[in-house]
A = this chain, B = another copy of it.
Amino acid sequence: MKRRPPTSLIFRFALISLVLLGSTQLANAATTDPLPSWNEGKSKQSIIAFVTAVTKVGSANFVPPAERIATFDNDGCLWSEQPMYFQLFFAIDRVKALAPQHPEWKNKEPFASLLKGDVKSALAGGEKAILEIIMATHAGMTSEEFEATVKDWLATAKHPVTKKPYTQMVYQPMLEVLAYLRANDFKTFIVSGGGIEFMRPWTEKVYGIPPEQVVGSSVKTKFEMRDGKPAIVRLPELNFMDDKAGKPVGISSHIGRRPIASFGNSDGDLQMLQWTTAGEGKRFALYVHHTDAEREWAYDRKSHIGKLDKGLDEAKKEGWTVVDMKRDWKVIYPFEER
């Protein structure tokens, strides 16, 4: 009679047990809904069908894990953007905080109007006014000092309508999409027109997206010695606008490969979705359409913020997924009861 060595016996037990356990887990996975905040329907089905297709080993649509890159716009796609971009609330609060050091702002637009509480007049100068506010409040300090101001602000600031912290105004259904993709070995990236260093301090905690997977607009920076210590200093000069045709450029620069899935909500995301879907193999593009005036905001073709006009036409033409927030989402924010 042959005697088996004990390790071989253990190994056999382990193998058999794992195979059996494995099938139980697979059975569980199949019955657990990865997108519980989504109502059944075309939108939800399209997401699951895509992920199933590209992850099925041996299928013609299979994509190796390393190439499973998914990119997400932030404002209006992962969190709200009304009544104005949240970063602008931050900038305005910074103007107020910095005003004592800038007596000249009392007589200089757009700062004068802002300090009087007249946001509308301050922003009447359009993009130029916004850029002036951003530069005055986002530059001249080190990256680490800026990070601290963002964290401090988020810890206490409340949204004027919901009275909730801004980082709670994220879309529960999209958090589920992020988690679902990552569970299927996707790397999830943010590709936003918002400031890259405005997002990085909180995206890991809120979305599970680490700083190195955040692409955004930026100011120029320089490395210098400050009091004998190395520092990255933020300069009052635009470096890169990660919006519209800038998004594929930002993706190319930061990620270096083409996403196979992209998620947006405005015409600012159109080129990113075009770039994504023009690649070979199975691709996925999704627009969040803001249709829910009661639970969130309803806006599209004529909105100043998050305008979705050309994109809506192209989505229809190309067969992209268009999420109807009102119909498709059971809840909007995580703090709502389901």
Interface residues of A (CB under 8 A from B): 7, 10-11, 13-14, 16-18, 20-21, 24, 66, 69, 143, 187, 196-197, 200, 204, 210-214, 218, 221-224, 229-230, 232, 239, 245-249, 252-257, 271, 274-275, 278
Residue of B nearest to A189 (CB): B212
> Contact between B13 and A221 (Cβ–Cβ < 8 Å)?
no
A218 cross-chain contacts in B, Cβ below 8 A:
253
Which of A187, A212, A246, A271 has the largest count of B CB atoms less than 10 A from its CB? A212
Which residues of B lie under 8 Å from residue A221 when comparing CB positions? 249, 252-253
Cα–Cα, bound, A253→B216 (Å): 10
Q: For the complex, give the distance between the alpha carbons of A249 and B218 in Å.
A: 12
Q: B residues within 8 A CB of A69?
A: 212
Could you tell me the distance between the alpha carbons of A249 and B230 in the complex, rounded to whole angstroms? Answer: 11
> Is the pair B214, A256 in contact by a Cβ cutoff of 8 Å?
yes
Closest 8 CB pairs of A and B: A211-B256, A14-B17, A223-B245, A223-B248, A200-B256, A13-B17, A13-B13, A212-B255
**Which residue of chain B has its CB nearest to the CB of A12?**
B17
Contacts A249-B223, A257-B212 given; does A10 touch B17 at CB 8 Å: yes
